[in-house]
Structure 1
Amino acid sequence: MRIAGTGIGQGVATGRVALMPEPLATPSDAQSTIGVEAEKARSVESLGRVARALEERGATAGGTARDVLEAQAMMAEDPTLSDSIDELLGQGKTAERAVSEAFAAFRDQLAAMGGYLGERAADLDDVAQRVIADLLGVPAPGVPELDEPFVLVARDLAPADTALLDLDKVLALVTSDGGPTSHTAILAREKSIVAIVGAADALSLDEGQTVVVDAAAGVVVADPSADEVASAEARIAERAALVDAPATPGALADGTAVPLLANLGSSKAAQAAADGGAEGVGLFRTEFLFLDAGGSAPTIEEQRAHYVELLEAFPGKKVVVRLLDAGADKPLAFLNDAHEENPALGLRGLRALRVSEDILREQLTALAEADKRTSADLWVMAPMVSTVEETEYIVGLSKELGLKTAGIMVEVPSIALMADKVFETADFASIGTNDLTQYTLAADRLLGSVASFQDPWHPAVLRLVGEVGASGARASKPVGICGEAAADPLLAVVLVGLGATTLSMSPSALADVRASLARYTLDEARRLAETALAASGAAEARAAVTAALESLKETHS
């Protein structure tokens, strides 16, 4: 049996299944026997204990995990939730039942929003389970403790559990729920855990059943043959050798340099990425700094401190910071929280920043101040740019406020087709393949029913990448790739053949992509790109390039 899902990274693992315990049952709706004030004291104490425990776990885990768990701790003591719990306690409910109902109502609100906030609904479920378990005096459901290594299979995994997984015991992670932007996926990438999320039939696997988890293919193979297990074990050994090998600058077989950069969402993860071989940062997402700030934008001083920490990890190296990309799946109350029928096509990215230019100016000022205090080579770029006029606006404003290198993200077909005009103003362009694919194929990247269209291998997407690459070459301006497509070792070669000069990805993907690029010359990369462009669809492009590689292997041998 084969179970399909979304693979996180390029890893593979094989082992026996361990199923995550089922969550606690919904507390009884029986009336309290100890009174409102006593129940309120119980709930406040439990919420506080859970918040402190999450903070302690975060401090132990560090990196992105710390940010995620600190955000969960804030959920546990959120004033709105506390007010809702108090209201339910006033109706005579027990603390357990009030916590369950209040968190469930807030969870449903987040789930209805979809996107980034929808993915956070599972985090609320975890906090509620921990509080209820504390109130009942029982252990919170968590990762099973077994003597032998295992493949963990769950409906989804709480951030607090993912952050502290024992990597000597957990060979791989498979979830039936979640997507590529869930905290499970984010933390799995950061910790280089072999993982497949959104594998709908995962819970049909049995305790102790042997499986091969192939993240590269996005497939779980149940009851694999001896040959399939042997193949997986050979790939595991090969990848281990790649990861352990000394990191070298990214380059093709003929010596053509292709710097490999990191995608980061937190300044706290910068040093680890640098230590892991990243040659700089190709995408620093600043929206998480704003999302965690509450009801108002972070001050210039607060932003500057984060940017300095980031830049200090990469002295003398390129660091590309994306300006606030709010809207769509990441609405902000102080910027653009108005309801929109189709937010992916609405007031997001640079469009939202122009409406609230004070926030944009403050961010650019904080970046310019951080740049003066460090030796990194800071570049800034604007998201969701769709016209040449927008390009001229953001580059001009960036230079006015003291930033020396300013460019744009290419996520919209219109700006890709106008790339020659863009490079008359912009110092560089960076292609966000996730959104470029979404807008080219008219398929919401957060909507599971059209997920099959969200494939950057599609020749229509690749043609747009080629347009930007060719325009950049004519203007002698850099063209980066900062979408998840760059983390695909095979597609990375094609993207370089289309004119990409740098590739940026999750740090865990660096070793695989570095090894893949080193196998091919620039001429070969260009021929593989032509092969992909000649295909009629995404699957056909991938298959054609794979077949062409077999011919190249014979030539090389």
Structure 2
Amino acid sequence: MVTTIHGTPVVPGLAHGPVLVAAADVSAGAVAAYGDGGHADAAAALAAYDEAVAQVADGFRAKAAASSGATAEVLTASAGLATDRGLRGAVRKNLNAGQPLLPALEAAVDQFVTIFAGMGGLMAERVTDLRDIHTRVLARLVGEPEPGVPVPTSPSVLVAADLAPADTAGLDPSFVVAIVTERGGPTSHTAIIARQLGIPCVVGAAGAIAALDGHTALVDGRTGAIEVDPDEDQAGKRVKEDLAERAVLATWSGPGQTADGRPVKLLANVADAASASAATSEPVSGIGLFRTELCFLDRDTEPDVDEQAAIYTSVLEPFASEGKHVVVRTLDAGSDKPIAFATHPDEENPALGVRGLRLSFADPGLLHRQLDAIAIAAERSGTECWVMAPMVATVAEARGFGEAARERGLKPGVMVEVPSAALLAHKILEEVDFLSIGTNDLTQYTMAADRMATDLAHLTDPWQPAVLQLVAIAAEAGRQAGKPVGVCGEAAADPLLACVLVGLGITSLSMAAAAVRPVGARVADVTLGRCEEMAEAALAAVDPATAREAALAVLR
């Protein structure tokens, strides 16, 4: 009998190979040799901290510059976290209290880890990033190279307690054939970057290191099953078949539609001009999510209308073609994406606080100036531009946003991330022209589960029947109103789930550009009727695992 452990599948694909465990750290000897650092006073120690932090942040930025899409976004956010003024202030306070630099750093990091973990939600997701920053700054201080994942010499399955963004972003898919982590959920940074790299990935696999270290593993990124020491011949045969199937999917070139011709718009999620330009090489109908806030994570002051318009124009211009459009999301600042000029500091629970559209309640000008800039960019580029607001919870909020967008000649929509927006979708669609479902937040808020709590990974799975029910409600409201309802969360990048979403009535799917071909090919191979059967089977399931199995059984 082959031993099998299970986790949450996040990137489909089969892979087999020897296990490589990531457990790199700063050597105890180097830390002991550093001692108190020999700094003359607290100011000198703080200067050493600043220098080390700058080196770490520069490393993140360099990796971000060499990346694109979601990977670049995550690395840029990590650079911002490394230079966070609150963290520096805690280190300075500890130094002034007489602590040596290394204990002062550790205490400051522990302080923020406790705060982030207590906040839950998106902020808890930053704990892994913060721990990674601590390790990298520590290495810089004691004169060692920043630690990272061991470099495999042959195709291997990488297994870790968790992976920091910088480690995941640097992986070579030709050598790291699969990723398994003990912690994390479907929307963790590891999952997001692995999806962009196309590496089969399973997260939240408790006990994976102890079970897999020293063994070979067959990882199924579609079901979450990890077989320990499987039969070599059988594993090789299954992987070969899966690779052949994926190779066929990768050749798909459009158009986006089911096997019987029902149109399904396939769109790209982007963060800047570089990722927008890169997306044009994929068979997409436009951009389904331009995350504007990611352009301003490192800004202390709000860019004026002209500067914003120039940034937005550079993203819109590559899609100034007939039949294509760009959906611009207004600032989704707050929670895990603090922006100095917009967000509220010291919120007790930022994930449930003043974020997204709610920032405009106290500062309407913030939204109006951004809409002015988007309207200018749309006119300059000649691109069909839609605009949507995040974190809308009421009909009145949708009405106010719709009026502000239409005054500027923009097509208004809202994101469905809060369960109330899904339940009121039919009323909200009386005020706006489209809906876009953000499955990451919708899942978290529906299931009341921290996305980074490993023990709750089964709850933060977008295959949860309760989440699918809310998607179905919103899609049906769109059908009745004759208005489009899309999905722009990570769920859209799962080819199997994409078929279910189409069966529920979703009209467009927006995802990382690298996922478009596999999703398009899968949808193109299934009739609308079969998609509807898959959706019915998934809705009737009692949990995510049986929902996947039921949908797959219908597909087969």
When normalised by structure 2's length, the TM-score is 0.86
Among candidates 354, 362, 374, match of residue 361 of structure 2? 354
Query: Which residue matches 2:391?
Result: 384
Deviations 1:473-495 (A, max 9, x none): 33322221223332232332232
Matches within 5 A, 1:122-521: 122-226=128-232, 227-243=234-250, 245-294=251-300, 296-316=301-321, 317-327=324-334, 330=337, 335=342, 337=344, 346-403=353-410, 405-441=411-447, 443=449, 445=451, 447-521=453-527
More moved, 491-500 vs 296-305: 296-305
Q: Please give the alpha-carbon distance, in whole angstroms, between the structure 1 residues aligned to 2:450 and 2:46.
A: 43
SS at match of 1:546: helix
Query: Which residue matches 1:18?
Result: 20
Question: Is 2:14–2:238's contact at 8 Å kept on the other side of the alignment?
Answer: no
CA distance change for structure 1 residues 157 and 543 in 2, over 3 Å: closer, same or farther? closer
SS at match of 1:260: strand
Q: Please give the alpha-carbon distance, in whole angstroms, between the structure 1 residues aligned to 2:464 and 2:184.
A: 24
More moved, 345-354 vs 157-166: 345-354
Deviation at 1:258, TM superposition (A): 1.0
Deviation at 1:211, TM superposition (A): 0.8
Identity fraction in percent: 46
Q: Which residue identity does 2:409 align to in structure 1?
A: G
Q: Please give the alpha-carbon distance, in whole angstroms, between the structure 2 residues aligned to 1:89 and 1:343.
A: 29
Deviation at 1:235, TM superposition (A): 0.6
Q: Please give the alpha-carbon distance, in whole angstroms, between the structure 1 residues aligned to 2:49 and 2:445.
A: 46
SS at match of 1:305: helix
More moved, 424-433 vs 38-47: 38-47
SS at match of 2:398: helix
What is the total number of aligned residue pairs between the two structures? 547
CA distance change for structure 1 residues 102 and 453 in 2, over 3 Å: closer, same or farther? closer
Q: Which runs of 5+ in 1 are unaligned?
A: 551-557
Q: Please give the alpha-carbon distance, in whole angstroms, between the structure 2 residues aligned to 1:185 and 1:19.
A: 18
SS at match of 2:319: coil
Question: Is 2:122–2:351's contact at 8 Å kept on the other side of the alignment?
Answer: no
Query: Which residue matches 1:2?
Result: 4
Q: Which runs of 5+ in 2 are unaligned?
A: none
When normalised by structure 1's length, the TM-score is 0.86
Q: Which has the higher contact order (CA 8 A, sep 6+)?
A: 2
Question: Is 1:51–1:73's contact at 8 Å kept on the other side of the alignment?
Answer: yes
CA distance change for structure 1 residues 319 and 195 in 2, over 3 Å: closer, same or farther? same
Query: Which residue matches 1:553?
Result: none
Query: Which residue matches 1:60?
Result: 66
Question: Is 1:31–1:92's contact at 8 Å kept on the other side of the alignment?
Answer: no
Deviation at 1:292, TM superposition (A): 3.7
CA distance change for structure 1 residues 48 and 351 in 2, over 3 Å: closer, same or farther? closer
SS at match of 1:275: coil
Query: Which residue matches 2:554?
Result: 548
Q: Which residue identity does 1:525 align to in structure 2?
A: C
Deviation at 1:210, TM superposition (A): 0.8
SS at match of 1:235: helix
CA distance change for structure 1 residues 70 and 547 in 2, over 3 Å: closer, same or farther? closer
Q: Please give the alpha-carbon distance, in whole angstroms, between the structure 2 residues aligned to 1:67 and 1:328.
A: 15
Q: Which residue identity does 2:264 align to in structure 1?
A: V
Deviation at 1:66, TM superposition (A): 4.2
Deviations 1:90-124 (A, max 9, x none): 56655444444444444443343333333233333
RMSD: 3.2
Deviation at 1:542, TM superposition (A): 4.0
